Amino acid sequence: MASRKGFSPEETLRLSVAGFLFLENERENRQDYGTHFFLFGLRNGTGKMADRWELPGGKVEEGETLVQALERECEEELQLRPTVVKVLDFADFIHKGNNFRVYGCLAKIPHEPRVNPEHQRFGWFTLAQALHLDLVDSDRDLLKKISQDPTALGDD
């Protein structure tokens, strides 16, 4: 998976979404989102994404909004429904010859996720800690972009 900034207008762009998920009751104990612990999953399987950490999420299906896509992906993968706080930013990447734009969404979840076949385990990391993980390329680009903007995770 190679990352690249922007695509030419004639190229088809597929959308995906990644959730910066935090536990709902944790917010009361933190001064800002930058100190929150966000959920990351360690991928199972083979190929380039195996044994790498990723944010929960996936492709946006036709007719879905970003929020609907994140809700569906979290219900399918984690058996929980997030409450999206806001859309943060995006990063562009290429995967298997297809052009993607992944949008990061800040969202709260009501409880810990259940283990699923796509992930070996889950972990909770701050943004600074997550930058030291072996992340999938698209999430690393998105995480770097968001962590460089001190207002990205702030309250509206």
pLDDT tens digits, 93-126: 888 888 999 999 999 999 888 878 888 999 999 8
Highest averaged pLDDT of the listed ranges 22-26, 63-67, 143-147, 152-156: 63-67
Check residue 155 and give its pLDDT.
Answer: 53
Judge whether 77 lies within some domain. Answer: yes
Judge whether 20 lies within some domain. Answer: yes
Higher pLDDT, 134 or 148: 134
> Which domain CATH number covers 76?
3.90.79.10
Check residue 8 and give its pLDDT.
Answer: 54
Q: Give me the number of domains the chain comprises.
A: 1
Judge whether 153 lies within some domain. Answer: no
Judge whether 143 lies within some domain. Answer: yes
Check residue 3 and give its pLDDT.
Answer: 43
Judge whether 51 lies within some domain. Answer: yes
Judge whether 156 lies within some domain. Answer: no
Q: What is the pLDDT of residues 33-92, one digit of tens each?
A: 556 789 999 998 777 778 999 999 999 999 999 999 999 999 998 999 999 999 999 999
3-state secondary structure labels for all residues of the chain: CEECCCCCCCCCEEEEEEEEEEEHHHHHHCCCHHHCCEEEEEECCCCCCCCCEECCEEECCCCCCHHHHHHHHHHHHHCCCCEEEEEEEEEEEEECCEEEEEEEEEEEECCCCCCCCCEEEEEEECHHHHCCCCECHHHHHHHHHHHCCCCCCCCC
Check residue 61 and give its pLDDT.
Answer: 94
Judge whether 155 lies within some domain. Answer: no
Range of the domain at 84: 2-147
Check residue 30 and give its pLDDT.
Answer: 47
Judge whether 138 lies within some domain. Answer: yes
